[in-house]
Amino acid sequence: MNNIVKDYYNENAKREFNRLSNPYSIIEFKTTLAMMDKYLKKSGKVLDIGCGPGRYSIELLKKGYNVTLYDISEKELNLAKSKSRQLHMWRL
């Protein structure tokens, strides 16, 4: 079962990154960001387990959080790392 899930996300990493950009899913994205703003401290460390391609992690990096990413999919982790580097916000 684990390999089925891993393979799916490895094959669909780019699609998953773009998933939260369509008119229907943008509601999910903005609502989740609002909840993060409401309940997270204004700074600190975040462990993003199941980070996928990093859409939420990137937003946290923009706000100055120290973010550690973890995901079953190597391709999604690599995409998250690449997108974060494009923003000059990747922290090793």
- Summarised one tens digit per residue, pLDDT across range 13-41 is 999 999 999 899 999 999 999 999 999 99
pLDDT of residue 85: 85
Which pTM value belongs to this model? 0.84
Alpha carbons 17 and 9: distance in angstroms, whole number: 11
Q: Tell me the mean pLDDT in the region 48-71.
A: 94
Query: Could you give phi then psi for residue 68, rounded to 5 degrees?
Result: -110, 130
